[in-house]
Amino acid sequence: MIEFTAILAWPFLLAGAFFFIAGTLGVLRFPDIYSRLHAVTKADTLGLGLTVIGLGLLSGSLRTTLLMILVWLLVMASGATACQLLARYERERPQVEDENGGR
């Protein structure tokens, strides 16, 4: 049974890693701040959720899993909030080229 859950965990962990890498690439490569925010908050939240599922299956402990899910919920809420705040800041900022050439 333990081995079965361990095997089941790996696809989740790999998918989690994939979404983290995708989110990071998005932050590095996307052209403007809105799409970069989109990449980092959505993809990383999903990646963390999948990683939590995988690690929960690996740990085999309900308590540990619940704690990790709590952490995930907190990260999800803070990511969504920070994303909205940064996006509003960017939208209401006077649109001038800053010292880094508009990035």
Q: Which of 4, 28, 94, 99 binds other proteins (CB under 8 A)?
A: 99
CB of 40 to other proteins, least distance (A): 14
Q: Which of residues 12-71 bind other proteins (CB under 8 A)?
A: none
Using left for φ > 0, alpha for ψ between -120 and 50, and beta otherwise, residue 5 falls in alpha
Q: Which of 35, 61, 64, 84 binds other proteins (CB under 8 A)?
A: 84
Interface positions with other proteins (CB under 8 A): 74, 77-78, 81, 84-85, 88, 99
